[in-house]
């Protein structure tokens, strides 16, 4: 490989690299897993990289995928070669414009990392549902199955579209190819220069709209000639296969790698054949090699050009000896007689071939379900049967429809030639990033081939991650997870009991554990099963306290570099001196913009990587029995569904496990059963220093620190320390305790940060301090006792009256999958404490939907009456319309109740007491507390009436759920609110309906990786704004005030807890639309003091004038008062620049673009002053 242009990259980078060469304009919008393609293009353009035209690409972020497609369409009409990048619902939003682009024969390429479409549930992972939904648009479709194929064939799509005028979708599997890192040969601009049809480009430009030679396009046509005009395009599509084949041959001349529209691999006289496309073709090739060694005659046709579908080329590569064919589709079309690729193949043989093989179809790999050689073996074995199963599935156990092929034991291929490693990490601990660097270090500094792939759960930082690395002397085609590793690293000791981290570890393998335990403690805590595997398989076990080392050198919980260094030292895959030097190079590249102090800390981490020890393995461990199973009183659903998924055993669940919840409905409150215990440090409560303010609970992102109030009976048998409650008076005589749920805590320390404590001898003594987890483990029993045996006392006080009282209310949002220190979830939790027992939530797709509803964890829960928020997610772009629809349904049902109540009141047979209740309800139907009082009384009346045969009551019986006034909440981030969903938001608040919109404003697209939004302020660096945002932030709140009848507030819980509570209370009470914009510090901001200071960061933001607190209440205008109230004090502008410098999103600008930085920083301050001054003017208006 040494004489070739070798790079180590993933599929997205390969596609972006090629597209940059051919593109003049890129219209972009983020969506997982395609976002990084656009990020690369934006970064390269910002740094001056030139395309084939000797220029930088003009990159424009749009407000949605529909907007990006529209911009692509417009740019093409004016003669610029234009590209976009998308997936899933994003591609579907582009479909209307795709029809137009194809119909107008405009050459372009949409690069798609193919992904699942949200249906019964959202999934960000990969399959072909999205591209199959676009196959009818008129775009040609080119598929790749590996990172190398993306590099080689993406250029074919660009070359072919220019020559043919037919637009292309260039697609590859989301995650499996888009995020798989491989060592590949790169193609560069000069490789393509002589292949471009420059005459075709000139003709394209001549066809561009031009006032000097005007034409009209996009006309309306009538039935008399539309059909004929549509058919006239056929010759362009007929030419595409030969054009693509021509360019494939040209690429082969450059690379030596041969591609065809349909590639055949296998025995020339094969009798059984699989036809497939995408990454599975690599695993099938491996399996064919394995079977060929056993004398079996099998083959594969890998599809590249899917549209136009060339029957001639397909039939031309299939051996005449083939008797049976299995066509594998990575999609499901419910109600169809077969999936798309299968239907195409059947039609090809039925209409155009004398050969009549038996053809069956199967489905595989939905939502990135791992597809292994064992599953491929099942397909070939199925073809060996006299009557093979048709419409089969692989990789699952379907015990309901019985579609699945038999599950076979996994086989280890390339066992001697490939070194495999697995790394179990915690989201945001840096494990994934470190392993990306490791594979690039090995790829760039040795002749070895390498591969890296990363699997995650749906939590944000703090979730499960597993890195799968392979190294070898030959190209690696194993497009599936590592199942038989030589080396396993477990970066969190809690995982030893949570997951089967030793599964598949080879004999004589190596295991590395990050643990705070010493030698003897480790032997004590290791599960017997793990000990037995170590002893039986002669495993060498290393352990290191990377957690302690990271804290000592100032890296917090970032253990990644220490453990990466340990990996290189233990495995000796490359010389350690070279590994250390390269690690430090990557550190400089990754953190160079963050200052020398950060660099030095990470350099120290590399140097400390050798501080591991070897665990002595007792041979007697080989005969240890399993530990006694831990008894759980969890519901059956939790035992049978939640626990297996949380153990990473979801792949083993059969179809029958989901019987009864086929529509995607999950019970609430399952998050409470996780009890992960993953934080090495948790808060300890010191009762002597506690002032009972409840602020710790108020700011906790995960609702895992709470005040409990115990009456006399509840105090019996509870031995932990409590305090006499000081206030409120309604709880006099009871006992108070702050309790930490240590098993649910993620160790952010925000509670410690806000704790005022007491002053003793002039020194602040906090009531909370972070302590090692093992010293607090006993608190888990106290938490269990208090949460199950102590009842809420919220009924004794008005929980809406002040901050302290609000925290006596049970949180109905708890233990979410949000990041440690998340700035969003304290708001979400607080809303449930105030209104949760009657709350309905419409949630935009984004961070808040992922941490609020990722299977199997449902953090929304119920109170002791079984009441709680009813939550649903629709899409990213329609969250406000979705919520409005919920409100409209409630409104309609309640109108029916009014009609029926009036009928009953007019009926002489209705008892007077029932009439009185019904009249009272009609008069107070929008008063929440009154409806809560009346509802149970009315339910009794309605039940009795229905039993007595009253037809009105029978109809009312199905409507009683609507008696209580509901609190409709619509929750989304700034991407949903400022950008893709803004049109809907505007329409919903304009409707005047009584809904509450909560905007969790992180000022960046947090969920997709930190891209710029219209909420991103000037001077902030974000993805899609690689050189710093150059325009000011949109003032969403002030726009909403122009309606005059919308309640609007801007809040920051860490700056003013009482103002936050007041704004939420007023917004919900207002009988009309409300919009609350909440400042939410995010991990993407790069707060230098860490996510344990998110509350302090909000306070600083308001103090310096970066963020302002205000409320606009239309009801005040009715009283002759100014509806606008500015709640924050005049800023201390001298602190503004220091605030910016404390966040990497701003400070890195001075490192990357020093010439522009100071000007942009000053403009950021000027914009903040302009905004503040506009607010001051609002306060002076007379009403």
Enumerate the active-site residues.
32, 65, 115, 1007
> What would the DSSP string read from start to end of 383-405?
HHSSS--SSEE-SS--TTT--BP
Q: Which residue is it, tokens 């702050």?
A: 738
**Are 212 and 87 contacting, i.e. CB atoms less than 8 angstroms apart?**
no
> What would the DSSP string read from start to end of 560-594?
HHHHHHHHHHHH-SS-HHHHHHHHHHHHHHHHGGG
Please choose, from the candidates 124, 117, 121, the residue with its C-alpha nearest in 3D space to the C-alpha of residue 664: 121
Please choose, from the candidates 134, 39, 616, 202, the residue with its C-alpha nearest in 3D space to the C-alpha of residue 47: 39
Pairing of strands 735-740, 510-514: unpaired
Q: Which residue is it, tokens 């496990």?
A: 657
Please choose, from the candidates 1139, 1080, 1079, 1148, the residue with its C-alpha nearest in 3D space to the C-alpha of residue 1105: 1139
What per-residue string of b and e applies to 178-212 under the rule 16 or more CB within 10 Å gives b?
Answer: bbbbbbbbbbebebbeebbbeebbeebeebeeeee
Q: What are the Cα distances from residue 506, in Å, to 488, 539, 1082?
A: 10, 8, 41
Across-strand partners of 1112? 1048, 1124
Q: What is the C-alpha end-to-end distance of the chain, expressed in Å?
A: 77
The torsion angles phi and psi of 114, rounded to 5 degrees, stand at -60, 135
Containing 903, the helix (H) or strand (E) segment is helix 879-906
**Are 67 and 981 contacting, i.e. CB atoms less than 8 angstroms apart?**
no
> What would the DSSP string read from start to end of 795-845?
GGS-TTS-HHHHTTSPPSB-S-SPPTT-SSHHHHHHHHHHHGGGEEEEE-S
Contacts of 865 (CB under 8 A, 6+ apart): 837
Cα–Cα distance measured from residue 1170 to residue 1165, given in angstroms and rounded to the nearest whole number: 9
Q: Is 457 left (phi over 0), alpha (psi -120 to 50) or beta?
A: beta
Q: What are the Cα distances from residue 152, in Å, to 173, 261, 284?
A: 16, 13, 20
CA angle 118, 124, 126 (to 5 degrees): 95
What per-residue string of b and e applies to 1029-1043 under the rule 16 or more CB within 10 Å gives b?
Answer: beebbbbbbbbbbeb
Q: Is 165 left (phi over 0), alpha (psi -120 to 50) or beta?
A: left
Q: What are the Cα distances from residue 663, in Å, to 122, 536, 659, 877, 986?
A: 12, 45, 10, 22, 31
Q: What are the Cα distances from residue 383, in Å, to 268, 355, 376, 1146?
A: 18, 17, 11, 60
SS3 at position 1121: coil
Nearest-10 crossing angle of helices 576-591, 596-607: 160
Cα–Cα distance measured from residue 825 to residue 807, given in angstroms and rounded to the nearest whole number: 15
Cα–Cα distance measured from residue 173 to residue 130, given in angstroms and rounded to the nearest whole number: 11
**Are 34 and 178 contacting, i.e. CB atoms less than 8 angstroms apart?**
yes
Our measurement of the distance from residue 266's CA atom to the centroid of its chain's CA atoms, rounded to an integer in Å, reads 39
Residues across the chain? 1183
CA angle 850, 454, 605 (to 5 degrees): 100
Q: What are the Cα distances from residue 1091, in Å, to 593, 750, 1055, 1083?
A: 19, 8, 16, 7
Q: Can you state the percent helix, strand and coil of the chain, rounding each to 5? A: 45, 15, 40
Our separate counts of H helices and E strands in the chain read 45, 37
């Amino acid at each position: 490989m040494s004489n070739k242009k070798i790079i180590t990259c993933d599929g997205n980078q390969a596609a972006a690299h090629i597209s940059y060469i051919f593109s003049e304009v890129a219209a972009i919008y983020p969506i997982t897993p395609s976002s990084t393609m656009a990020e690369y293009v934006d970064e390269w353009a910002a740094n001056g990289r030139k395309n084939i035209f000797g220029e930088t690409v003009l990159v424009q972020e749009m407000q949605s995928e529909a907007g990006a497609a529209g911009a692509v369409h417009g740019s093409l009409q004016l003669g610029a070669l234009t590209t976009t990048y998308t997936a899933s619902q994003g591609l579907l939003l582009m479909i209307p414009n795709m029809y137009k682009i194809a119909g107008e024969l405009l050459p372009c390429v949409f690069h798609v990392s193919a992904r699942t479409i949200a249906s019964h549930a959202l999934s960000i992972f990969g399959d072909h549902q999205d591209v199959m939904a676009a196959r009818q648009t008129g775009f040609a479709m080119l598929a790749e199955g590996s990172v190398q194929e993306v590099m080689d064939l993406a250029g074919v799509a660009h070359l072919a579209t220019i020559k043919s005028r037919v637009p292309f979708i260039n697609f590859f599997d989301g995650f499996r190819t888009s995020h798989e890192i491989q060592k590949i040969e790169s193609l560069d601009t000069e490789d393509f220069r002589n292949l471009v049809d420059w005459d075709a480009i000139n003709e394209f430009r001549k066809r561009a709209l031009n006032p000097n030679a005007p034409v009209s396009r996009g006309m309306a046509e009538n039935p008399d000639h539309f059909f004929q005009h549509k058919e006239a395009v056929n010759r362009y599509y007929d030419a595409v296969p030969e054009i693509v084949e021509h360019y494939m041959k040209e690429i082969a001349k450059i690379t030596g790698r041969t591609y065809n529209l349909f590639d055949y691999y296998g025995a020339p006289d094969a009798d059984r054949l699989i036809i497939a496309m995408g990454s599975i073709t690599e695993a099938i090739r491996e399996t064919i090699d394995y079977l060929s060694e056993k004398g079996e005659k099998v083959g594969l046709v890998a599809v590249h050009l899917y549209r136009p579908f060339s029957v001639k080329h397909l039939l031309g590569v299939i051996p005449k000896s083939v008797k049976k064919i299995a066509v594998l589709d990575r999609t499901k079309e419910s109600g169809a007689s077969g999936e798309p690729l299968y239907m195409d193949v059947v039609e090809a043989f039925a209409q155009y071939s004398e050969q009549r093989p038996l053809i069956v179809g199967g489905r595989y790999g939905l939502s990135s379900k791992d597809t292994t050689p064992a599953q491929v073996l099942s397909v070939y074995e199925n073809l060996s049967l006299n009557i093979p199963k048709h419409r089969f599935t692989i990789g699952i156990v379907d015990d309901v429809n019985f579609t699945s092929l038999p599950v076979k034991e996994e086989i280890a291929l390339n066992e001697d030639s490939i070194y495999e490693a697995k790394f179990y990490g915690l989201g945001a601990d840096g494990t994934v990033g470190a392993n990306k660097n490791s594979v690039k270090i090995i790829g760039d500094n040795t002749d070895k081939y390498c591969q890296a792939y990363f699997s995650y759960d749906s939590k944000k930082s703090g979730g499960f991650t597993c890195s799968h690395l392979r190294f070898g002397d030959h190209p690696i085609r194993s497009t599936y997870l590592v199942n038989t590793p030589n080396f396993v690293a477990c970066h969190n000791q809690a995982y030893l009991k949570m997951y089967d981290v030793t599964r598949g570890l080879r004999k004589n393998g190596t295991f590395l554990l990050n643990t705070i335990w010493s030698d003897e403690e480790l032997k004590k805590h290791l599960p017997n099963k793990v000990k037995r595997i170590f002893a039986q398989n002669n495993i060498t076990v290393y352990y290191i306290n990377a957690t302690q080392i990271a804290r000592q050198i100032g890296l917090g919980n970032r253990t990644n570099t220490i453990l990466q260094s340990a990996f290189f030292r233990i495995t000796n895959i490359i010389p350690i001196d070279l590994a250390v030097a390269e690690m430090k190079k990557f550190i400089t590249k990754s953190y160079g913009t963050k200052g020398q102090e950060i660099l030095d800390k990470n350099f120290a981490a590399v140097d400390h990587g050798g501080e591991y020890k070897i665990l002595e393995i007792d041979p007697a461990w080989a005969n240890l029995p399993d530990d006694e199973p831990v008894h759980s009183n969890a519901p059956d659903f939790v035992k049978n569904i939640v626990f297996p998924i949380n153990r990473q055993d979801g792949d083993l669940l059969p179809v029958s496990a989901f019987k009864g919840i086929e529509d995607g409905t999950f019970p609430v409150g399952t998050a409470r059963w996780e009890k992960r215990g993953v934080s090495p440090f948790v808060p300890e409560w010191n009762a002597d220093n506690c002032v009972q303010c409840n602020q710790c609970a108020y700011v906790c992102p995960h609702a895992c620190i709470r005040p409990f109030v115990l009456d006399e009976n509840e105090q019996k048998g509870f031995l932990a320390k409590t305090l006499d409650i000081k206030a409120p008076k309604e709880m006099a005589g009871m006992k108070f305790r702050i309790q930490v749920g240590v098993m649910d805590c993620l160790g952010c320390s925000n509670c410690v940060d806000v704790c005022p404590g007491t002053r003793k001898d002039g020194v602040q003594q906090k009531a909370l301090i972070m302590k090692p987890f093992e010293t607090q483990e006993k608190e888990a029993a106290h938490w269990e006792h208090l949460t199950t045996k102590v009842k809420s006392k919220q009924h004794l006080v008005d929980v809406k009256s002040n901050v302290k009282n609000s925290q006596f209310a049970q949180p109905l949002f708890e233990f979410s999958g949000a990041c440690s220190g998340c700035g969003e979830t304290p708001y979400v939790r607080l809303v449930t404490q105030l209104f949760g027992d009657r709350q309905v939530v419409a949630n935009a797709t984004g961070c808040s939907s992922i941490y609020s509803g990722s299977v199997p964890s449902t953090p929304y829960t119920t109170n002791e009456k079984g009441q709680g928020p009813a939550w649903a997610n629709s899409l990213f772009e329609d969250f406000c319309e979705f919520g409005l629809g919920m409100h409209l349904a409630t409104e309609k049902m309640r109108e029916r109740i009014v009609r029926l109540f009036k009928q009953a009141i007019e009926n002489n047979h209705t008892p007077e007491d029932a009439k009185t209740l019904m009249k009272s309800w009609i008069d107070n139907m929008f008063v929440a507390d009154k409806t809560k009082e009346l509802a149970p009384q009315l339910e009794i009346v309605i039940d009795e009436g229905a039993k007595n045969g009253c037809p009105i009551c029978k109809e009312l019986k199905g409507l009683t759920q609507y008696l209580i006034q509901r609190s409709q909440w619509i929750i989304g981030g700034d991407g949903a609110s400022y950008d893709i969903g803004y049109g809907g938001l505007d329409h919903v608040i304009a409707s005047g309906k009584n809904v509450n919109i909560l905007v969790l404003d992180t000022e960046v697209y947090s969920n997709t990786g930190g891209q710029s939004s219209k909420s991103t302020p000037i001077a902030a660096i974000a993805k899609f704004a690689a050189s710093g945002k150059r325009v000011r932030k949109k003032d969403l709140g002030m726009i909403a005030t122009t309606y005059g009848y919308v309640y609007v507030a801007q809040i920051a819980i860490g700056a003013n807890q009482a103002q936050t509570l007041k704004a939420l209370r007023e917004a919900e009470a207002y009988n009309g639309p409300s919009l609350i914009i909440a400042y939410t510090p995010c991990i993407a901001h790069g707060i230098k003091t860490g996510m344990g200071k998110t509350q302090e960061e909000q306070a600083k933001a308001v103090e310096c004038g970066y963020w302002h607190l205000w409320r606009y209440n239309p009801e005040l205008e009715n009283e002759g008062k100014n509806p606008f109230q500015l709640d924050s004090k005049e800023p201390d502008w001298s602190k503004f620049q220091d605030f910016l410098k404390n966040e990497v999103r701003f400070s890195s600008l001075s490192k990357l673009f020093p010439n522009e930085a100071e000007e942009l920083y000053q403009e950021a301050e000027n914009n903040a002053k302009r905004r503040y001054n506009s607010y001051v003017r609002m306060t002076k208006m007379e009403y």
